Every structure is written in C-alpha cells, then in structure tokens.
Chain A
Amino acid sequence: MKQLTGAEILLESLREEGVDTIFGYPGAAVIDIYDRLAKSGIQHVLARHEQGAVHAADGYTRASGKVGVCLVTSGPGATNTVSGIASAYMDSIPIIVLTGQVPTELIGNDAFQEVDIVGITRPCTKHNYLVKRVEDLARVLKEAFYVARSGRPGPVLVDLPKDVIQTRTTYRPIKDVQLRSYNPTYEPNFRQLPKAVKLIREARRPMILTGGGVIRSGASEALQALARTIQAPVAATLMGLGAFPGSDPLWLGMIGMHGTYRANMSSAECDLLIAVGVRFDDRVTGKVETFAPKARIVHIDIDPTSIRKNIPVSVPIVGDCRMTLEKLNALLHTEALGDLREERKVWLNQIAEWKSAKTLRYIQDAVIKPQYVVEKLCEITGGKAIITTEVGQNQMWAAQYYQFDRPNCLITSGGLGCMGFGFPAAIGAQVACPDRLVVDIAGDGSIQMNIQEMATAVQYRLPVKILVLNNGYLGMVRQWQELFYDRCYAHTEMETAPDFVKLAEAYGAVGLRAIRPEEVEPVLRKGLSQPGLVIMDFVVEKEECVYPTVPAGAPITEMLLV
C-alpha cells in the first residue's frame, strides 16, 4: 500500500471525483497542497480575490454540470469565501470549498491566520467538515462530493489543518459513501401523483411555475412535455429562466416583483398552480396571503423543507423534479384528457389579452436605454450566449429582455443577490465552456466589486465579454428611493468611477464605449467579435427604472407599470 501525504491524498481524491480544474488562491496554510497541485496535472485558475475564486467555481458548476472546486488558505482566505458560499447555498449550487487551517495543535489558540471557518459557515453550507486526522481525509472528501451533488445540491466546505496535509498515511480509494442519517428522496411517493392528475383533470385555468430545481435536475424537457400535454402556460422564477423556451407561445415570462404583467396576473387568476423546483421566495410571492388566491397548488421539490414553508399546498410531492415530472407525464398519457386546446381557449385568450398590454417596454430616445442594450445583445447573439449577471437593475433587465431558450444559459446570484457575482462567475463559465460566448451583464456599481478579476481573465486568456450598463448610480436602490423615498438619493450616486475603457487597457484587455444610441449595435458587434476579454461601457439613461415593479410586501398583482 502506498504511503501518501494528506496533500497527495487530497489530489488523488479530487482526480477520483473527475476534477480537472480548481479555482483558488495560495497561502501559507495550503502551500503543501499547492506544491503537489503544480505537479498533478490539475489545472489551477489563480483568482485575484478568494471571493472571485468561489464565484468562479459556482459559475463553472452551473455551466458544466460538474462540481466546481475552490481552494484557499486559512484565516482571511477562508473568510473571503463566505459570500460566495452563501450565494451557492441559496441557489443550491454544488461546490466544494477547501480551506487551509492552522496545525491541529494550534486550533483554538488564536494562531496567525486562524479562523473557525467551520463555525462561521455552518449556517450557509449544506454541510462542512474539519478533518482532524489524515486517516479520515479520503472518506471525508468522498462524503463531501456526495453530499454536495446529491439531493438538493449545495456547497460543502472541508477545512484542512496544515499538519493533516503534511502527514503520511496509507491511501485506499473510497468507493462508496455510507451516511445513515442522509437519504435524499428522489422517487416521488406513488400515492401523490394520481392526486396531481386529478387536480389537472379538474383544472380550467392551470399554470406551471418553474424554478431552479428544474434546471438543476435536468427536467426541462419533461417540463415542456407536461406544459404541452396539459396546455398550461408557464412562468418562471429568476432561477428557473431557460427551463422553458422564451420563444414558446405558452411562455408567460418571469413572475414576481419584476415579473411580467401576464405572469403575475395569471398567478392571481389560475385555478391550479403546478410549482416545480421552486421555494416561493418573497420576491416571487409578494404578500403571501394574496398569492395565487384561487389556485389549488401542486408543489414538487426535492427538499421537503421547501414545501409548505411559505405557501400552503394541496398536493405536496417530495422528489427529484425530473423523475417526478417524467412519472407524471407517463401517468397523464394513460388519461383521456380530451381536446384541451379547445377547453383552454378562454384561459389562453385571457392571457393573450394580458400579454397585449406589453408592459415590458421602453422608449429609445436620445439617450441609450439599458433595456435596448440587452435586447440588442439578445438579437446579435441569437439568444445563445451564456449570460451571467451582477445584481440589481442589470440583473432584472437581463432577466426581462434577454430571451432564454435553453437551461443553464442564465447564471445569476438569485437567492443571495450577491453583487460582484457576475464577472467571476463568467470566468468560471468560460473555463467550463471555452467555445461558448460568455457575457456578464453588469452595472457600474457591481462590476467594481470584483473588477480585479480582469487580471485573471487576461492571464488565462478567457474571452469573457463584460457589458456595463453605466448609469452612475446604484440603480436599483436609487429606483426604490425614487419610488418610495421621495427621491432622496441617499448615497446611491457613484460620483467617481473609473474610466472603464482605460481600465480595460490597463489590464491588457479591450475597452469600448457607446454614448449615443446609434453606437450601441456597432460597439456590441465589435466587442463580441474581439478575441480576449472585452469591457463594453454603455453610458445609459441615469434614472431609468425596472418595470413592472411591485412594492416589497404588496400583492404581486399590484404592479407599477411605468
């Protein structure tokens, strides 16, 4: 039997899991791992800040479907990953975060660069481990990957004391995982499905709501089949965009605070809501008491805690979204459903009427409108790019005006709403998909939160395109101040910002700027066709708002439309 050091066992275990890329940042506590990593053949992407590394691992995971791995040192290296871990946790993204730790005999001693990262991340990881004996390392890593990717996925952190990494032991690859306390339910309970079928048969105005769970479980096709079989229109949460084609006639758009008029109105009028892989976040439901008041609700989710947490449901179904939908579809095939196209006419006509209200609109006059930039981007890329977003207005305009036809094309920090997410996530997505066009739709505020990652993109020749919708404000907060705080723009104006074109050049990237509307298309065409990292600075209308908008805590039918 081979005697390996902890560092070598770590790298062997990663290889066993199929890991070929790590995002990270070295430091004293992990220097032994880096020493072996350099000789391992595993690619390492050196971020410029640990937050960048963990968001990149998140973007990599979403674009590739593999588990992204992030490696950082102890103390500040570890604490800098916390926002990224929390974001992955809220969005159920399986990543592994490996943190260095001071030697075991110094733990609890306030040693240099010591922090209790296991304690700090307990509430924002799916699970975490402190490895105290090198003999446990291989098993812990096996468990970590298993826990991260199974059930409702999520981030898992493994804390690695320096002496554990240096000590030798016999290495035996671990083949399977035994966790008596953890058994995710994938198969839906067979008694529940006929209940759902019964409600579908009785429904006159059905509607489907799809969330991130559909994308994570690869249930898009099954979802589309269901929608077509029962002729139900489909709305999505932010995390669910792309699970159902934006070009389909049954498509309603995004639901919630900045949802479309027809999606929000449909939720208020439907008599059956089939919610798949959603957790009914407050940005989706608005005032919960008034959400879908006329509907019976079928809720499918792999996480039992998501069900009946915020919204009472008629038929709860715990299970994997894809498996459940496939079984439901099979069951529906044996049913004589009749001519549903005919039966749904009134309901679908009503929706068509709401749709004609055309509430996603703007007037492109003398100043560039941010919506116009996103629409043009969608047109030029044929809706085929991988889009990452920052957080705020840029994120909502991306969700509203880019038409997502396929899953895993929108990568955004949905639950945590973590500014600074988009650019490093784009780097991770580009590493995963070197041949795809990856675009970060950003604002001038949030792009500055992880702008140092330009060096990473340039170093690894990652041709990410950044599109800055530059309005000189922290736009979403300014919008709230305009609408709900008497236009008191308290500290939301970014009076000083870097010249993004010069900044791009300083990093060895390409910078372009559009000031007038007629420059938008040429800049986009030029920027998107350039090799390498490009930052496109669009000087847009300063006080444009995202509409529709629902005041926080109001029913989602109470939309401000212009």
Chain B
Amino acid sequence: MENGQRKRHILSMLVDNQPGVLSRVAGFFSGRGFNIDSLCVSETTDPLVSRITLVAMGDMAVLEQIKKQLNKLINVIKVMDFTEVEHVQRETALVKVRAKPEHRAEILRMADIFRSRVVDVGSEYYTVEITGDEGKVNAFLKLIKHMGIKEIARTGLVALAREKK
C-alpha cells in the first residue's frame, strides 16, 4: 500500500517515564526498517510521563501504520502527528566553528543576525548556540560552513501544537 509521496513527519508522543520505553519505540522503528531522523526525549510536568518528539520520513500509508503501531505499545499514552497541524517547532544547535582572525568579526555578525549567541570562545574556535526552526538552523550552518565547522551537536526538533483560535 504505497500511496502518496514521502514526507517528513513530526510525531510527538506521551509515554510512560520508565526504563525500556524508549527502546520499545526505537525498536519498533528499527524492526521495520524505518529510519529516525531526529529524536528528543524528556520528562513532562508529570514525572510519570515523558514526551518523545521524533522526526521520520514516510508516505501517508506508512505513517498511518506507524502511528497505529506506536499506539499499540502498552507504554505509549498518546501519539500526535504535527504534519497537518498548526504547531511551533524549535531546535537548538551548538556549533563549534573555526575562528580564524579574519573570520571572527563575521562570526559575531552572523550570530547577531540569527539572534544566536557565542557561548564559548577559545583561541581557535568559537562555539555558537543557535535556536530556531530547522530551516533557520540549516541556513545558519550553510552560511558559516566555509569557515570550517569542527563539531556540531543538535538537539533534534521539539514541537507543540498551537492553541486553537
């Protein structure tokens, strides 16, 4: 049942905050050969519940099946697909960029334009913290790439549905 084109889906799920639950969710994806593009897990205001935000590719039929299967896991309380829902999404990246003397001013300027911050300064590298939707983070990375990125750590997307107006 392959129909429709492949699309990125942001799945947000509430799960029991217990050992092994992430493994069940991740194992479900690996067992069926689906790749997880990004994953973010943390506790909610209820210490018994965690939120997993996960980005995966698939057509509608595949995604429909994934959502049903995830719902079937005993520890999964709720699954939401934000693809068709108004939502806000953010990702934070820490980027360690080579800071040659001739690039230092440009790094600071770029950081300023992107409303990001330099959080660590060394003799060879600056570390920039940037937060935004994926497009913003990717745009920033593209612009500073030529200076040389030594390391990068991205949180993966987190998302929440917007309030219904």
**Which A positions have Cβ atoms within 8 angstroms of B?**
118-119, 122-123, 126-127, 130, 147, 179-182, 288, 303-305, 308-312
Contact = CB atoms under 8 A, between A and B. Distances in A.
A179 B68 contact: no
B16 to A, nearest CB: 6
B65 A309 contact: yes
Contacts of B15: 181
6 contacts: A122-B20, A130-B19, A130-B20, A180-B77, A181-B76, A309-B65
Contact of B74 (A119, A147, A288, A308): A147
A127 B69 contact: no
Nearest to B14: A181
A126 B74 contact: yes
B74 A305 contact: no
Interface in B32-80: 61, 64-65, 68-69, 71-72, 74-78
A497 B121 CA distance: 76
Nearest to B15: A181
Contacts of A179: 74
B113 interface: no
A180 B68 CA distance: 17
Instruction: Decide if the interface of chain B is mainly helix, strand, loop or mixed.
Output: helix
Nearest to B28: A123
Given A147-B74, A308-B1, A123 B31 contact: yes
A44 to B, nearest CB: 29
A118 B27 CA distance: 13
A122 B1 contact: no
Given A304-B68, A305-B65, A181 B74 contact: yes
Contacts of B9: none
A317 to B, nearest CB: 15
Interface string B68-97: 110110111110000000000000000000
Contacts of A311: 1
Interface residues of B, number: 22
B65 A122 contact: no
A308 B64 contact: yes
Contact of A308 (B27, B61, B72, B75): B61
A119 B23 contact: yes
A180 B71 CA distance: 12
B104 interface: no
B24 interface: yes
Contact of A303 (B28, B72, B78): B72
B77 A127 contact: no
Nearest to B76: A181
Contacts of B72: 303-305
Given A130-B19, A147-B74, 5 more contacts: A127-B74, A179-B74, A181-B74, A305-B65, A309-B1
B30 to A, nearest CB: 9
Contacts of B71: 304
Nearest to A310: B1
Given A122-B20, A122-B23, A181 B1 contact: no
A121 to B, nearest CB: 11
B74 A122 contact: no
Nearest to A128: B20
A15 B24 CA distance: 31
Contacts of A310: 1
Contacts of B64: 308
B38 to A, nearest CB: 22
Contacts of B19: 130
Given A305-B69, A308-B64, A122 B27 contact: yes
B13 to A, nearest CB: 10
Contacts of A303: 72
A181 B23 contact: no
B27 A123 contact: yes
B20 A181 contact: no
Contact of B77 (A130, A147, A181): A181
A302 to B, nearest CB: 11
A181 B65 contact: no
Contacts of B68: 304-305
A-B CB proximity, top 6 nearest? A181-B77, A127-B74, A305-B68, A304-B68, A182-B74, A123-B31
Nearest to A143: B74
Contacts of B31: 123
Contacts of B1: 288, 308-312
A533 B71 CA distance: 46
A130 B68 CA distance: 25
Nearest to A152: B72
Contacts of B77: 180-181
Nearest to B32: A123
Nearest to A288: B1
B50 to A, nearest CB: 12
Nearest to A305: B68
A182 B16 CA distance: 11
A147 B72 CA distance: 11
B32 to A, nearest CB: 10
Contacts of A288: 1
A126 B74 CA distance: 8
B27 to A, nearest CB: 6
A41 to B, nearest CB: 32
Contacts of B76: 181
Contacts of A182: 74
Contacts of A123: 27-28, 31
B68 to A, nearest CB: 4
A127 B73 CA distance: 8
A181 to B, nearest CB: 4
Nearest to A182: B74
